[in-house]
Structure 1
């Protein structure tokens, strides 16, 4: 039974307002055309702010300036965050130069690598949106479905040039992205100037009438999503063990590669991961995905589609806080969810296979690929590419690399990047550029393994600082690590300004989640390889308390840990924190 049939007898006013909005939006068009033409405001209509997400951008305002502008009787300084659809995170040098140009012409002069292996821009004014998207389109890149209740940017183990297996996995990430792309032409019409094809309204009306009469017919405008789209966002990740650089279990769908004798045999399929929750609402929680079977490489796109259709037809459309796939799995049960997936596939999945992950970090510095070419992993603190005063000239240095380099540049889900396909003869040239722009620094392993979301001043959900604050907190934690004799050790530290979990803080060995300005919930006990959730240890604490709590724990870790024991394992073994075995236990004391 598809979503049209399941919702036929549900009173329309019982659906969440976003569900009604999607149905009535004319396949994501809404009133966006008129809103972009309205020069009296920098904003778009409230309903349209939900629709813009499907097209890859959010309306925001500068929260640092809210009070000042209110006193001046001005509306907030509205702008847009624009996010790219970039499956696998691969960019050519020519594309990099275009994206860099766009950051100056139409945004705030920076690029930011996200935890979903793509770029986002901040500070794009409404009058620049079309030019921004059209310039990106000229580089064969778009923003379609980078946000919204659809399949988001598909991520995979970084760098397809590293090995034959990496190339195959990257190609599959692109195949999934194309297969699960919405069909509506709204983006092309509104932002790229494509003319709307006549007859669409008539075909749509015929489809709606047939559905109302009990027939199950494809929607000609959205044969996969229908006019309802998905209940919430949908995220897919592919990983190649032993490296879990994508944090595979944090996503709605995960494919774990199995390699035998140098050949890609297939993938263990996992479902039901997700990071977001809401403070004070124990019915919301982060969750790690569970294995449901095994499939061949050729079947991966079809399996991803079957899982998405199962979520489309069963996800909660009344309560958005319970609408992610993780809650669908919890409510249906894993076996029933799997059975419906197999029903869409028309055949059962093979039994899941064993796998092993060793860590979830990036390979920084020089790494040699199977083809004897070199790849340089570059640390980018919190993903922000800019020229910093008294610091690295990241934007200038990477621009120079893009102007001289003939390989690709690859983004990672840990907010770093890789300069790929460097011959032995050209390594010296790349190293000279890196040195000239101060891009190579002796960062601690603690800093290299830390991540933060954007938070203030642009994110409307932020309760506390994150990107602007974490570097200074790491300075203080580095001092604690040095005092404990742990200067060369790694602990996974992540921070977000709200509980939505964009930097995946609930997988961190030490996680900080914003509660109020200057105050954070402290979580401990995540797994070093991303296979275990952490648990709340202290609530609503300031920096002084954070340091007072962590300093003796880190000292104790240095003195009592077992050989090669990660910090997250240590705090569980010694009873500092209770292990979280499943998402539903996340809030247990």
Structure 2
């Protein structure tokens, strides 16, 4: 690694961490994420990990403790503990997976994950319904195929995203490789993961166990993504740190850098809000890792460690000022940013069906509704993985690309799909631009349904579109079961976030390419009101739209909602 790609990652101790919040104190005394997790896994009295601190620490290991909320009330009446189970999230940089890895994931999902697997909005897999005794077998089996769950959750750098557009085959390979390098670089260095899950012995060393993160890691999660214009399929402006690839005469010249994106907010807390990332300049390709270190270290040293509601990087930027943060990054990086270079983003969707790249490879994009791989889809994809000689790529829209297919293998893959899932392409334009988070019954934060409810709501919205001649009009719609925004609802043309069972906030006016926040038009309303509002506005859109005008743009031009210029004004 050259001087241009690395800086001193040692924690800046000039910023004292005084009066830590409870979670910061917990991390500080965790012995670098070890806690008492090993003891908790051995406790056979409960299906849970008994220590509340360990439940939080396990997120750094890619594991969430949950319970089946469909059964919660009944088990309470029977005086039983909740039906505890776990979600395991895989670290999968750029969403790239080999057939051998796919077959292992399939095997584990069938054995331990309720015969289901989920593609997330950040290009990775989640196992659900995992029991405590199955945690180690899954993680050790993943290790056999060079997969892990390190830093898939927790107050660290989460899985690094990367555009999967197969139309940019050679260019994509360069950026995907760099995304993998960054992912491997920014994960925690503690050996706690290897000791707890692989059974490795602790090794004594005089070197710092966490030279970059220190004892308290980051104030909150940190998300990095690489976009390849003209595709914005990863929603680069929703990332804490976004790298936008710029082509040169002979390949990859470097990246425009955007900082401070984030979707999470809290209802009834106007000091919290979603924010789109701000473009601050350009770095050459060999400065990307140094840039990532510098940006993350600013958040590490200046992020709010007392109030977790305002601990994301976006608040650090707005509190300190963008110019101040940019200057601090440049000082730590050792060089100033160059001026941002021109680029254009024209889509944040996926290219469905078969596509052929200049290298002669074929790529088949499959629509996976809300990312849920049920047993029928698992059967189909297992058969494909057994004959496929390329890779699988997960998209940030919860879909799947069978990538790098040889021309002579196309017919076999089509035959497998026709046998197991002949309706794989029979999805409307609206459904192709829809995303939902998991929500109930497994997510402990969910206030309302999302994944299980959105398909039936789309049935009714599709009827409205058909009545207005809009069935072929692409409109982005995203639903989240709570205000945290895992499905990135605040940049959708139609956004819905759960408030209570059957109740949602309705947002309109986001940018079709992910370039603009939306604004709330109805608060805490049910399906009848949602459909009433949409029926009226979609009818107006059909009558009054201009040629090529997207629905989100129309709602602003027509004065239905006011444009949100900055995240700070989202709640105005």
Indicate the TM-score class for this superposition, using the shorter chain for normalisation: over 0.9
Q: Please give the residue correspondences for 1:461-540 in structure 2 after superposition, counting only pairs within 5 Å.
A: 461-540=445-524
Deviates more, 1:432-441 or 1:520-529: 432-441
* Counterparts of 1:404 and 1:72, CA distance in 2: 49
Q: Please give the residue correspondences for 1:377-526 in structure 2 after superposition, counting only pairs within 5 Å.
A: 377-387=365-375, 393-439=376-422, 440-526=424-510
Partner SS state of residue 283, structure 1: coil
Match of 1:214 in 2: none
- Say if 1:140 and 1:68 are closer, same or farther in 2 by CA, change over 3 A: same
Q: Is residue 13 of structure 2 the alignment partner of residue 4 of structure 1?
A: yes
Compute the displacement of 1:22 (Å): 0.6
Compute the displacement of 1:409 (Å): 0.7
> CA deviation digits over 1:270-304, x for unaligned, max 9?
00000000001110000000011100111111111
Partner SS state of residue 122, structure 2: coil
Q: 1:562 aligns with which of 546, 551, 565?
A: 546
Q: Please give the residue correspondences for 1:24-103 in structure 2 after superposition, counting only pairs within 5 Å.
A: 24-44=29-49, 45-103=51-109
* Counterparts of 2:414 and 2:289, CA distance in 1: 39
| TM-score w.r.t. length of structure 1 | 0.94
* Counterparts of 1:323 and 1:510, CA distance in 2: 27
Compute the displacement of 1:113 (Å): 0.3
Compute the displacement of 1:415 (Å): 0.3
Partner SS state of residue 4, structure 1: coil
* Counterparts of 2:155 and 2:351, CA distance in 1: 33
Q: Please give the residue correspondences for 1:131-530 in structure 2 after superposition, counting only pairs within 5 Å.
A: 131-158=137-164, 162-197=168-203, 199-200=204-205, 203=206, 220-261=208-249, 263-387=251-375, 393-439=376-422, 440-530=424-514
> CA deviation digits over 1:235-258, x for unaligned, max 9?
001101111000000010001111
Deviates more, 1:162-171 or 1:577-586: 162-171
Compute the displacement of 1:437 (Å): 1.3
Partner SS state of residue 515, structure 1: strand
8 Å CA contact retained: 2:257, 2:283: yes
Compute the displacement of 1:2 (Å): 5.1
Q: Number of residue pairs matched? A: 561
* Counterparts of 2:447 and 2:250, CA distance in 1: 48
- The gaps in structure 2 that reach 5 residues or longer are 1-9
8 Å CA contact retained: 2:166, 2:355: no
* Counterparts of 1:3 and 1:348, CA distance in 2: 20
Deviates more, 1:298-307 or 1:453-462: 298-307
Match of 1:215 in 2: none
- Say if 1:547 and 1:110 are closer, same or farther in 2 by CA, change over 3 A: same
Give the aligned CA root-mean-square deviation in angstroms.
1.2
Compute the displacement of 1:196 (Å): 0.8
- Say if 1:52 and 1:70 are closer, same or farther in 2 by CA, change over 3 A: same
- Say if 1:527 and 1:159 are closer, same or farther in 2 by CA, change over 3 A: closer
Partner SS state of residue 13, structure 2: helix
Compute the displacement of 1:233 (Å): 0.3
- Say if 1:3 and 1:61 are closer, same or farther in 2 by CA, change over 3 A: farther
- Say if 1:159 and 1:508 are closer, same or farther in 2 by CA, change over 3 A: closer
Compute the displacement of 1:581 (Å): 0.8
8 Å CA contact retained: 2:439, 2:451: yes
| TM-score w.r.t. length of structure 2 | 0.96
Compute the displacement of 1:444 (Å): 0.8
8 Å CA contact retained: 1:528, 1:568: yes
* Counterparts of 1:471 and 1:500, CA distance in 2: 21
Partner SS state of residue 40, structure 2: helix
Compute the displacement of 1:89 (Å): 0.7
8 Å CA contact retained: 2:165, 2:351: no
Compute the displacement of 1:4 (Å): 2.9
8 Å CA contact retained: 2:68, 2:83: yes
Partner SS state of residue 435, structure 2: strand
* Counterparts of 1:518 and 1:3, CA distance in 2: 47
- The gaps in structure 1 that reach 5 residues or longer are 204-218, 388-392
Partner SS state of residue 168, structure 1: helix
* Counterparts of 1:132 and 1:160, CA distance in 2: 31
Match of 1:212 in 2: none
* Counterparts of 2:185 and 2:252, CA distance in 1: 21
Match of 2:6 in 1: none
- Say if 1:577 and 1:191 are closer, same or farther in 2 by CA, change over 3 A: same
The ranges of structure 1 where at least 4 consecutive aligned residues each deviate by more than 6 angstroms after the TM superposition are none
* Counterparts of 2:500 and 2:433, CA distance in 1: 25
Compute the displacement of 1:107 (Å): 1.5
* Counterparts of 2:288 and 2:236, CA distance in 1: 15
Partner SS state of residue 280, structure 2: strand
8 Å CA contact retained: 1:256, 1:269: yes
* Counterparts of 1:321 and 1:382, CA distance in 2: 28
8 Å CA contact retained: 1:161, 1:420: no
